[in-house]
Structure 1
Amino acid sequence: MKRARIAYLGAIHEAVEMDGRLKLDDGRIVEEHQVVWLPPVQPRTVFALGLNYADHAKELSFKAPTEPLVFLKGPNTFVGHRAHTRRPSDATYMHYECELAVVMGRTARHVKREDAYDYVLGYTVANDYTIRDYLENYYRPNLRVKNRDTCTPIGPWLVDAKDIADPMNLTLRTYVNGKLTQEGNTRDMIFSIPVLIEYLSSFMTLNAGDIILTGTPEGLIDTKVGDEVVTEIESIGRLVNTIVGDESFNETNM
């Protein structure tokens, strides 16, 4: 089942996909273009992976890591499908990152990798923008790189885990203004989903609603104000986002 969170006529609703339309939690059926899309889950703790695809590490002239490179993201970064992402006027290189997002379904502590999928609620698509100007260390991205408001679109759907036969064999693609610019497959992750859940739960408690962003393959290019960026993952969904400038926020750089 594909689930969503949307705003419609001044109220927030849970919804499910039904024949290309949305069925709201009160039974009403609406068209997708009639709603404001919200992140399909309300993020709690969000983990992000650096350099989790060998081809991406090579693209950046880095050796593949031998231990997961994990950092945290705040909830302020997340926006929904068809939302706008802000590109600061002083940025010279801001690229997308199409990522499979894993949503935890229950409390997990000291989970073995063979049991890891039992703790997954579902999957969604994330586009974790990076403003490379501010990057000091690829192994430890700072806040100005990865925790900026509006810089992580996510959605549109949360797809139930039981509906994805093999999350470690899904094609990822990114299109900028209709042109294919990135293509990869989750099978090329250095650290698989079960390995990541085992690793994280070995030293901390994971809770329902926590999200793991699993990294991006090679194929990154700079994006400009006005670009439409589409990140899609096989069987999960197609996430649309538009880059806007500071003037859309009526304030100076943040």
Structure 2
Amino acid sequence: MKLLRYGNPGQERPGIVDAQGQVRDLSALVADIGGAALSAESLQTIANTSIDSLPLVDRAVRLGPCVSSVGKFICIGLNYADHAAESGMPVPAEPVVFMKATSAITGPNDPIIKPRNSTKLDWEVELGIVIGKHASYVELDEAMDYIAGYCVINDVSERNFQLERGGQWDKGKGCDSFGPIGPYLVTKDEVADPLNLQLWLKVNGKTFQDGSTKHMVFGPAFLVHYLSQFMSLQPGDVISTGTPPGVGLGQNPPVYLHEGDVVELGIEGMGIQKQIVVNAQ
């Protein structure tokens, strides 16, 4: 299933994509796409419903983040060996973990806001994992049971803030609009192999990233297992799993985003995002 949220910011309603690619309203079944609605039981109830009987939604409606009320937005750094190389950093022996502020989360087609004093605004297409049930000290061979589905994430980054302003990475990762999520939460039953997905990103029509999740250092199951040793994971938590090579920082010379630039990105079977860069007011 492809689940989504639609409507104005802060007023999104739950929806689902039908077999014809149209959006149907899910409000009669769930209050929102998040929390308890992501349990296996809830997802099965939706799957058992006659989708074509649900109300149609206007195609022109804005799509919001595909997950509501995200408690934790966890990111994995340098999780593709070739991206680590272009960043001039070694492949990590264990996952590099950092957090994005949940206030960074936006819809898949909302603008990227270039922060004040930003000089090195960058892009990163990433596969997102959405947690479906409470996970603590999860065994590796059971980790997939805790995943509700997957989504497209743009891990927007400000490299000057991230790498040249002292401290950890968070300053360059958590600015408003730095976490577009969606358009869909694709339930895991529709993803035959999360480690065999093409993902890509273009800026102003030029392809910069064109990779595959098969090059991940640490796959989704291991990441859920690993993270659950350090913190409990809750339904609706999002894990952004790292990016393939082709980020702006890795170009020679580096290429960064400016007002008016158009970023398009997608993952096989999970939809496409499109953002325009605007300056912060």
Matched residues in 1 for 2:179 and 2:234: separation?
21
- Tell me the amino acid that sits aligned with residue 65 of structure 2: P
Partner residue of 1:69 out of 96, 103, 117:
96
The residue aligned with 1:22 is: 23
Alignment of 1:19-168 (within 5 A): 19-25=20-26, 27-33=54-60, 35-42=61-68, 43-136=70-163, 141-168=168-195
Query: Quick check: 1:190 aligned with 2:190?
Result: no
Identity %: 36
SS at match of 1:155: coil
Does the 8 Å contact 2:153/2:240 carry over to 1?
A: yes
1:14 shift after superposition: 0.5
Structure 2: runs of 5+ lacking an equivalent? 28-53, 249-255
Where does structure 1 differ by over 6 angstroms across 4 or more consecutive aligned residues? none
Matched residues in 2 for 1:70 and 1:201: separation?
12
The residue aligned with 1:7 is: 7
| Number of residue pairs aligned between Structure 1 and Structure 2 | 245
1:182 shift after superposition: 0.6
- Tell me the amino acid that sits aligned with residue 218 of structure 1: P
1:89 shift after superposition: 4.5
Q: Deviations over 1:189-211 (max 9, x none)?
A: 11111111111112321111111
Matched residues in 2 for 1:175 and 1:54: separation?
21
Structure 2 CA distance for partners of 1:89 and 1:45, relative to 1, 3 Å: closer
TM-score normalised over the length of structure 1:
0.91
Structure 2 CA distance for partners of 1:141 and 1:239, relative to 1, 3 Å: farther
If each structure's strand is expressed as a fraction of its own residues, which one has the higher value? 1
Partner residue of 1:177 out of 168, 179, 204:
204
Of stretches 176-185 and 58-67 in structure 1, the one that deviates more from structure 2 is: 176-185
Q: Deviations over 1:55-109 (max 9, x none)?
A: 0110011111101110112210010021011112422211110000000000111
Matched residues in 1 for 2:78 and 2:209: separation?
15
Matched residues in 2 for 1:71 and 1:215: separation?
11
Matched residues in 2 for 1:30 and 1:107: separation?
32
SS at match of 2:128: strand
TM-score normalised over the length of structure 2:
0.82
SS at match of 1:135: helix
1:180 shift after superposition: 1.3
SS at match of 1:162: helix
Partner residue of 2:265 out of 222, 228, 231:
231
- Tell me the amino acid that sits aligned with residue 221 of structure 2: P
SS at match of 2:223: helix
1:148 shift after superposition: 0.4
Structure 1: runs of 5+ lacking an equivalent? 250-254
SS at match of 2:63: strand
- Tell me the amino acid that sits aligned with residue 210 of structure 1: D
Structure 2 CA distance for partners of 1:239 and 1:205, relative to 1, 3 Å: same
Does the 8 Å contact 2:22/2:57 carry over to 1?
A: yes
The residue aligned with 1:204 is: 231
Matched residues in 1 for 2:227 and 2:164: separation?
22
The residue aligned with 1:252 is: none
Q: Deviations over 1:187-241 (max 9, x none)?
A: 1111111111111112321111111100001001222211111110011111111
Does the 8 Å contact 2:98/2:169 carry over to 1?
A: no
Matched residues in 2 for 1:11 and 1:67: separation?
39
